[in-house]
Amino acid sequence: MLKLSIVIVTYNSAGHIADCLDSIYKDEFTDREIIVVDNQSSDHSASIVRNGYDRVVVIENGHNDGFAKGCNIGLQKAVGEFILFLNPDTLLSKGACRQLIDVMESGENIGVIGPRINSDISGSYYHSARRFSSPPKDLISYIPGSRYLTRPHEIMMSIRKKPVDVDWVSGCAFMVSRALLQKTGTFDESYFLFSEEEDLCRRAKTAGWRVVYHPQAVVTHFEGKSFAGGSYRTRMYWTSKLHYYEKFSKVSEVFRFKKYFVPLIRFKMMFCSNVQKEVYCEIIRIMQSDRHTRAQASTL
């Protein structure tokens, strides 16, 4: 059995996938395979990989059924003891794979591990080691000035030097053990985009596995380069977030969240730009809908 399978899901990633793959090949860790799952790109992402990287397994989906399903399709082909899910708009730092695997193998019951994520090549820290979300926490986070409540945790993670247990880590560079997946199952395909990694981490911790953040392993993420922004990103995020709430929170908590969140957003709309108002309007539409399904999420 190979030690590592790297699964990359692409969607119109032609501008970044080659750099991502090159960063993997520059790494000294070679006991691995690379699997690229293309979600019906229109920019020849799959052709770039197929023609330029003959050792990479390319799977072309006939439909874009979301990130979670794309990851699971890659898993069906993967044979590694550990699986690293990597976004196509990332750069893997030298030694990162070895560092992550060493911690996974040295610790007890570690099922998921994530590296430090830098948001650009200057090295600025992206808050990738997080606490579980919930309706009350997310409601508070939108209150003006609430940033100061979460800032201490972000600062602590940004300066940390040694591995530490956390609730969940970012899915842009997300390593799991095959043993964990055999116990808890794979990604929930009800998520089209966003929240699927938090869901898996929550199930892992509920089953007694550890989730670890390892700041010495570094991945650079050019966030959002593999999909459009604006209302599309907003719809994806909040559709998935509501599904996560409904799965792990009390019905009463979800109801109260929607009840108080919409007036809060309307208040914030009074003091924002027109571009931000469009985003807030999309959030309100989502909150006022009775139900948000995968089909609704993928209509844009």
Closest listed residue to residue 169, CA positions, set 206, 138, 145, 199: 199
For the cut 80, the answer to whether the pLDDT of residue 12 exceeds it is yes
For 238, the enclosing helix (H) or strand (E) is helix 230-248
- CA 49, 53, 56, 58 dihedral sign is positive
Mean pLDDT over 62-70 rounds to 95
Average pLDDT of the residues in 267-280: 93
- Domains of the chain, earliest start first: 4-221 (3.90.550.10), 230-297 (no CATH)
Strands 82-86, 4-10: pairing is parallel
The rounded distance, in Å, linking the Cα atoms of 265 and 143 is: 9
For residues 267-284, average pLDDT: 93
Q: For residues 55-83, give the mean pLDDT.
A: 97
Report pLDDT for 120: 82
Provide, rounded to the nearest whole percent, the portion of the chain with pLDDT above 70: 93
User: Residue 14 pLDDT > 50, yes or no?
Assistant: yes
| Burial degree of 121 (CB within 10 A; 0-12, 13-18, 19+) | exposed
Structure tokens at 13: 């990633």
> For 73-93, how does the pLDDT look when each residue is reduced to its tens digit (9 = 90+)?
999 999 999 999 999 999 999
- Closest by CA to 41, choosing from 58, 19, 24, is 58
Euclidean distance between the first and the last CA atom of the chain, given in angstroms as a whole number: 41
**Does residue 187 contact residue 196 with C-beta atoms inside 8 Å?**
yes
DSSP for 4-67, written as a single string: EEEEEEESS-TTTHHHHHHHHHHSS--SEEEEEEEES-SS-HHHHHHHH-TTSEEEEESS---H
Task: Tell me what pLDDT residue 225 has.
Answer: 53
Q: Has residue 107 got a pLDDT over 60?
A: yes
Contact 19, 49 (CB under 8 A): no
Dihedral angle computed from the Cα positions of residues 253, 152, 225 and 236, in that order, rounded to the nearest 10 degrees: 0
- Categorize the per-residue pLDDT at 293 as very low, low, confident or very high, splitting at 50, 70 and 90: very low
The Cα–Cα gap between 78 and 154 comes to 34
B/e letters for 243-263, b = 16+ CB within 10 Å, e = fewer, are: bbbeebeeeeebeebbeebbe
